[in-house]
Amino acid sequence: MSQFAALSLGHQRPVEVRFETYKQRQAAIARYRLYPLTIFYTTYVGLILLIASLSTHSRIAAAFFLAGCATWTLVEYLFHRYVLHGRFPPGKGMIRRFLHERLDPLHWDHHMRPFDGHHISGELKDILPLFFVAVPVSFLFPVYTTPVLLAGVVQGYVAEEWLHYALHFSKSKVPLFRRLKKYHLYHHSPRGINKGYGITTRFWDGVFDTRYPDAVRQSLSRN
């Protein structure tokens, strides 16, 4: 990769800066996009866990929370594979227009510019409509069950967004992190774009047969 990158400054002519400088600036943009999302959803999760802990079913609540975190990894895989990597042709109707105009640019721009801070992560507004529907429905059940399960899913989402940020911008000597980083960045290559949809885990790639070939996996596993 070139040591330099073009940086657009509003309406001014793009200027060339060192790639590391460009990455630092884009990382700052991505972080500021993640702060509102993190504060809002983590505050909600904390309140739900506090309420559930005051019940007489705290162990059940803990089990449902962990199940929610695990559930998120499946949601992440399916959404990444079938929605973010889906191609939605333009057409008549509000739903088709929304899918084409909203979802198509959402992820393909990230693949075209993988270090662009505006496309690394989602924003608070992205899943708020779904969140405001899911929360009341979850409270049709005892607080230590479905509401806590939803809290686990939500916290898994927040954790995944920060992990995705780190995989693009951070460095670490921790072997697991290094393997996750290489696995994900290979997904950004022409050979890996149609496989390796898991970000937090490779498990679902194995279940749905979207793993990289054995030789690639062996190479990516070396630290």
Per-residue pLDDT of the chain (223 residues; tens, 9 = 90+): 445 454 544 444 555 668 888 889 999 999 999 999 999 999 999 999 999 999 899 999 999 999 999 999 999 999 898 878 866 556 566 665 566 555 555 566 788 888 998 888 888 888 888 899 999 999 999 999 999 999 999 999 999 999 999 999 999 989 999 999 999 999 999 899 899 999 999 999 999 999 999 988 888 887 6
Mention every residue, 6+ apart, whose C-beta is less than 8 A from residue 199: 76, 80, 160, 163, 164, 167, 180, 184
45-46-51 Cα angle (round to 5): 100
pTM, 2 dp = 0.85
Determine contact, residues 14/22, Cβ cutoff 8 Å.
Answer: no
Report pLDDT for 16: 60
Residues 203, 209, 213, 214, Cα dihedral to 10°: 50
